[in-house]
Chains A and B, each alone.
Chain A
Amino acid sequence: MTTRRSELRSVLPISWAEAAVLVALAAIAALGLGAAVLRFMRGLGATTGLSDAYPWGIWITFDVFIVPFSAGAFTLAAVVYLLDDERYHVLVPPVVLAGLLGYAMVCAVLLVDLGLPHRFYNIIAFLNPKSFMFEISWCVMLYLLVLVLEFSPVVLDRLGWEGPHRLVRAFTIVFVSAGIILSSLHQSSLGSMWLLLQAKLHPLWWTPILPLLFLITAVAGGLCMVIFVSVLAARVYGRPVHTHLLANLARAVAAILLLYGVLKLADLALAGELGLLFRPGALTLLFWAEVVLGIVAPIVIFTWRKLRESDGGLLLGAIVGLLGLALNRANVSMFAIWRPAGTIYRPSWMEVAILAGALAGATLVFALAARLLPLLGPADGEQGA
């Protein structure tokens, strides 16, 4: 009886509300697709606010944020498979899917942003080992493959293909290890790529240890993503929130962010730049906002047991942490880069539409997967398999 109900529930029909949301998401995704078509018809100049002064805009910023957001997949995989802590296993499928969809969005947005996207295969044909963008591209491509393989058991399970399922499962540890190595490489490289901007990036952000800082915040941000996706998906689809597990992760986030904060402070002190923290200006405000949202608030929320052990508290902490991460990546990739006086960047509606479309598309896939695949564990009151 319970199995059938769960089976039924995992298939349509769904409520009108949910259907409406799915249709809306599809519509926004279609709008994004339309904007992409416009981009290819008219060129980047006519369809975006980008210019020679601002060659990178919200698309790149989106990409450099979503990648560490998607880091939840590899950090959780490390916890589960390498620390061999099977308690967290239940969190894995939706997180891996979220990570996979994150990387898919990044690839989609990149294809629109590249000036000559039909040449993307040149990344494979030609290589410049000095370029961190080259390294990032390769790692992202390979990692996307890893994520697909990591997620495939869920699909294979649904399809009932036992053989391939077992095969994939057998190599889980290989995928996971590869994923961790690849992730560490490209999450830190996303920081390394800004090293060339020594002359142009505001010293509150530029530092030789930028790769390390990016890696650390990726881990912390990824764990926030795990919390975010887990709590949100559970709430939306009526599943139990694994509060205890998530609270442990939250503690880890607080510790990692504390380490990050100390490193950042020490780095500024060693560079003699502590004075910049108090120099009046919009960039200083942005920096403090990033610190408050990305370091202080999550630490406070996740150290406070009461908040840490409540769904609401966990979600709040995760959201705030992710906002801080987003702001940090936005500062490094956009706001804190020197531009000549008088130049300005105003994103066009098409730029926004493409991001909205990507997010909507990814959310749509996630929502469909939540209904069509054994993505989330059994519903309330049901026993886990």
Chain B
Amino acid sequence: MTNHWVDLKNSDCVLAIGCNPAENHPASMAWINRARDERGAKLLVVDPRLTRTAAVADLYAPLRPGTDIAFVGGLIHYILENNLFHREYLVHYTNASFLVHPDFKGPADLDGYFSGYDPAKRAYDRTTWAYQLDEQGNPKADPTLESPQCVFQILKRHYARYTPEMVERVCGTPRDQFLALAAEYAKTGQPGKAGAVLYAMGQTQHTVGSQNVRVLAILQLLLGNIGLPGGGVNALRGESNVQGSTDMGLLYHTLTSYLATPTAAAHPSLKAYLERQVKAAGKGYSKNTPNFLISLLKAYWGDAATEANDYCYDYLPKVSGDCSWISLFHAIEAGTIQGLWLIGQNPAVSGPNSRFERQALGKLKWMVIHELFETETAAFWKAPGVDPATVQTEVFLLPAADALEKAGSIVTSGRLIQWRPQVAARPELAQEDIWILDRIYRALKKRYQAEGGALPEPIVQLAWDYGDPPAATAVAKEINGFYTRDVKDASATAAKGDLLSTFAQLRADGSTACGAWVYAGYYYPRDDGTGVILPSCMRRGTKDPGGLGIYPYWGWVWPANRRIIYNRCSADSQGRPWAKDKALIWWDGSKWTGYDVPDFGVTTDPAKPGGDDAFIMHPDLKAALFSGLNEGPLPEHYEPVESPARNLLSGVQSNPVVKLWDAARGQPIGDNLGDLSQFPIVATTFRVTEHWQAGAMSRNLPWLVEVQPEMFVEMSPELAREKGIASGQTVIVRSARGEIRAVAVITRRYRTLRLWDAASNGFREVHQVGMPWHFGWAGLATGASANDLTPHVGDGNTMIPEYKAFLVDIRRA
């Protein structure tokens, strides 16, 4: 999130699209309700069906799964058409005024493509997407936003096709409902008003997922809603500590704190890495990457990492291909990957095309799995229908401790890090994950030291001493960062081992070590507001100067305890807050001051050049309305790979850079894709409050099983009537990947879509269904896994699977 949970209470309008906060983050409703009660804020919900969030919304608009860009593009069109954008904000804080390469062309001109597409590679050459530069190498700009080649005008031309009529035809949203919602949300474009956008997997789990989020960012920038209280582009993270896990580099394309994972091709050496990353950083703060990376390397290899050996950079694994989830499972299926180490993960239920993935697991030589329960993955070798004698995988099930049974920190969607003590006793054999990994490491190290083996140094030379038994607090200190030797110079005086208080202290000379640069200072002892000094993330101080819900003494937020990032934008170009009643930071004549940590040079005068360069992480220090991703610099609507309709916006049916997998295509279990002729119903998956992810932690609890006992599929009464299905009856849902049984929940909350059919030149009815994906065969409450139906196809940039829009058929059991 750019903002944070409590901040929702400051919003004047909350737009929840592709997410269901009441369902999956029930506590967030407390803050949204505060905004509704105290500010008269409106809650707007856009979702294929009327969810528990929509049940308390002021306005609800239905939309077809996979058409978010069309919808939000429609909002952008509405805002531009009616001049409801925040002009001063755009001119000062975004790249709206920048001039783009004269040869740039967009889908409006090229029938769905941007300039530079190579059909053979299924990729773009981005040369024509660059800015026009002046002599200093800075982008040329037109602050009047009139020039036809400026980003603003390009944006306007690009979204000219996204009319309310188009929204109705593509998304199935009735025109009047769309316009009512647009009018309401556009009010937040007024200076002094703030609208918050909430999104989650409904936006990201699509082949255009990255662009879905981009279009939300563009929407918010047009309305001037980024960087101020009650605004922001806010991801509702899907697990209680997924924010922490991505911060710690568990995604394949990043190291900790989102440093790029080195690739064999582009980053063969430390020098190459640093040069390339610093160049890409432009004027943005990431130009300090050398400080971050070298400190990280020092954290990994400690004293063994010296300037002479490039701080052990060569020990870091280099990625040589696509290591995304879907790729991993194809590699497992092909036998390239022989062993799988799973920590609290259940691919047998949560993976796309899960029949394929379960079959792939059987190809593994070995599997190690840390788990609380014997899940469908841990027990895949004895799943219903599997003869254990045919499975050659050696499975090691290691009982693990639950989050409440160990101490450690958890990071919320709002980047708030809170340390929690152990509050429950563990079952006898269960251990913390760090204990398990520590023991594995020690054993490995011993073997490497005794027997040699291939490339022992990266393992043996790791700086690994967290105590015996290992303490999470020791790991925390390393993540926080410390001085590796005594330092005394112009910028700092410190002793070896002193904890860092800020990432500004990080150096590229090996004198600092830091596990995650954005976390620097999170464990540093600070006052909790009452005079008690604690590691910052352990604090629970309740003082809230300013009353905006900042709570600076409660826990610690990365980076630098800054609660709202890009908060320079909460004030105008002169440093005066847009909203008097929600003043966050302001220029007092000599410095920036206020209730939050300024995301800006504290002494940078707003009136001087650079005084409005608010987006300090960006190469151009301006927010990017126009910014290159793999499928284009602007979000364009493409249909999901399995779609019920022809793309009405252009001649390109689906995302032209998406990788299409074809292992075992045509086989009963394989990378199969279906079409409308066999699978005429649009399907999506979702979660329910009562169950958790792949279900092990909730389907084993009787009180939760009581509330949601069975796998179900929701559908409209019209579809039910057509198929002769009664509520509570068992039905079979089938896709090109498999079929499952589920209980029919018939509800008016699901509407039959009316989509435009180009062939017949009229509207056509298309049904839709949705189902939770929490169920599997193991546990107290069992049921079919929805992911047996989802496709093995992912986003053009991140490869996140398209769980949210695919095609099925349905019949009575």
**Touch A–B, Cβ below 8 Å:** no
Listed in ascending order, the chain A residues whose CB lies under 8 Å from chain B are none
State the B residues within 8 Å of A (CB). none
